[in-house]
């Protein structure tokens, strides 16, 4: 099966300031369908993020990162909460819910994955994950104190800050981007437009807010979110719409184009493999 890459690959190479809302609707719908099945089978995913969302050339969305799955079934009984902390690198912490991070007796359940969906939505929309470069202790305090990341657009960024193009540090908490102005110019000498001079729909904002409730009991389930008004904009099958919405992204080619007798082709492939960030490819 041919893939066009992970969602993180796409925002790193083609959509540095975020994807279109309709493309994200298809991707988030695919994520929720996968989570709905995983939760129905009694598991918590615990590692929902853009690098674990794989998109095929025919517009199908797959959720990887299954090594972090945790069963909520013990001795034939489904537990109400679990307490195990995911064992992976510190890079995965920005996506985790407050209840997973605080590690108290109250534990967490499948609703923790819904919080991660909200963080992933911000990641796809803004071009970077909230809390990315924040010290771990500060990130934990921000989440426990109720700091809620959001989509960056004309409704969340002050008008005066939209008149200048911000430095894309990626270090913001998600609700306030670093907006120090630079001297970016277009080819004709005009000031470059602000990358977040766009307006997402109220239903998309509401979708993210629902996912990122501090109280997990107030977050909808994956099956409930699939009926959210945000997804009413989807009119065509993903196989018809998503590849078109992700243009000019093209499928990843296989090695069939490499000829063994061509040393330059082989060395080029080796060079590309060496540049892969293995931390982002967790299955």
- The closest of 256, 188, 177 to 2, measured between CA atoms, is 256
In this predicted structure, what is the pLDDT of residue 281?
47
In this predicted structure, what is the pLDDT of residue 3?
76
Q: What share of the chain is helix, strand, coil (3-state, %, to 5)?
A: 45, 10, 50
Cβ–Cβ < 8 Å for 151, 126: yes
Separation of alpha carbons 222 and 207, rounded Å: 12
The CATH number of the structural domain formed by 3-182+195-254 is 1.10.510.10
In this predicted structure, what is the pLDDT of residue 193?
81
In this predicted structure, what is the pLDDT of residue 166?
55
In this predicted structure, what is the pLDDT of residue 88?
73
At 120, give phi and psi (nearest 5°).
-65, -35
In this predicted structure, what is the pLDDT of residue 186?
53
Cβ–Cβ < 8 Å for 26, 244: no
Name the stretches of the chain with pLDDT < 50.
169-184, 254-261, 265-266, 269-270, 273-274, 276, 278, 281-283
**Helices and strands (H, E) in the chain, number of each type:** 9, 7
In this predicted structure, what is the pLDDT of residue 163?
80
């Amino acid at each position: 099966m041919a893939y066009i890459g992970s969602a993180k690959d796409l925002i790193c190479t083609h959509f540095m300031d975020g994807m279109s809302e309709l493309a994200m609707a298809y991707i988030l719908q695919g994520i929720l369908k996968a989570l709905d099945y995983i939760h129905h089978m009694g598991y918590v995913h615990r590692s929902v993020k853009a690098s674990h969302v794989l998109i095929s050339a025919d517009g199908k969305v797959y959720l990887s990162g299954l090594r972090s799955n945790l069963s909520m079934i013990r001795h034939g009984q489904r537990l109400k909460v679990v307490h195990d902390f995911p064992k992976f690198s510190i890079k995965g912490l920005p996506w985790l819910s407050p209840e997973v991070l605080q590690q108290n007796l109250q534990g967490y359940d499948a609703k923790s994955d819904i919080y991660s969906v909200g963080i992933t939505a911000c990641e796809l929309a803004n071009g970077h994950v909230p809390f990315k470069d924040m010290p771990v202790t500060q990130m934990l305090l921000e989440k426990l104190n109720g700091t809620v990341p959001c989509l960056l657009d004309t409704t969340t960024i002050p008008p005066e800050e939209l008149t200048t193009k911000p430095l894309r540090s990626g270090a913001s908490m998600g609700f306030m981007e670093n907006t120090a102005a630079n001297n970016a110019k277009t080819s004709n000498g005009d000031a470059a437009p602000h990358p977040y001079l766009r307006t997402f729909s109220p239903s998309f904002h509401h979708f993210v807010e629902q996912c990122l409730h501090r109280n997990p009991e107030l977050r909808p389930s994956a099956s409930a979110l699939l009926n959210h008004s945000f997804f009413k904009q989807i009119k065509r099958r993903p196989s018809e719409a998503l590849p078109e919405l992700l243009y000019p992204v093209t499928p990843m080619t296989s090695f069939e184009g490499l000829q063994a007798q061509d040393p330059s082709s082989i060395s080029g492939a080796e060079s590309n493999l060496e540049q892969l960030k293995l931390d982002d490819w967790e299955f």
